[in-house]
Amino acid sequence: MGLHEKHEYFVSWEELHRATRELARRQLPAEQWRGIIAVSRGGLVPAAILARELNIRLVESVCVRSYAHQSQSAKPEMLKDVSCSEDGAGFIVIDDLVDTGNTLRFLRERLPKAKFITVYAKPDGLPLVDEYEADIDQNTWIHFPWDMRLHYVDPLAGEDR
């Protein structure tokens, strides 16, 4: 692979659920947690799975903008802060992916005592995450199931032979 060659990785709903459930299993016992903070938008679905698996009812969201489609902005912007915690103590902060780490670096300043977990992690963001489920190459763009739709694909050999 060339230095700047980009790859794509497509995540199915089943794969995301399996990976997030495994991540949840490693957060047991559930009693140690006061709640979950989802990083909107990518962390919303994993947070719902985590909340179900750990039987946690307190689920909050924090809204940070650090991407504009497929390019990352220089400085994250807080659109909505959490109201349930001053420093994050007793909370899991979950996102779908840590890429460069800009979003989590920004949130760690706001919630220094929270545990930060992601389903997927790229090398540049690894130092900012406490736990994750799957490694992804830095030059890979991940397509999550909520960004895609199913449609018919022609057979490789074509139709009506």
Catalytic residue numbers read 95-96, 99
How far apart are the two ends of the chain, measured CA to CA in Å? Answer: 37
Phi, psi values for residue 46, rounded to 5°:
-60, -35
CA 18, CA 78: separation in Å to the nearest integer? 30
Closest listed residue to residue 75, CA positions, set 105, 95, 96, 99 = 105
CA 121 to the chain's CA centroid: 8
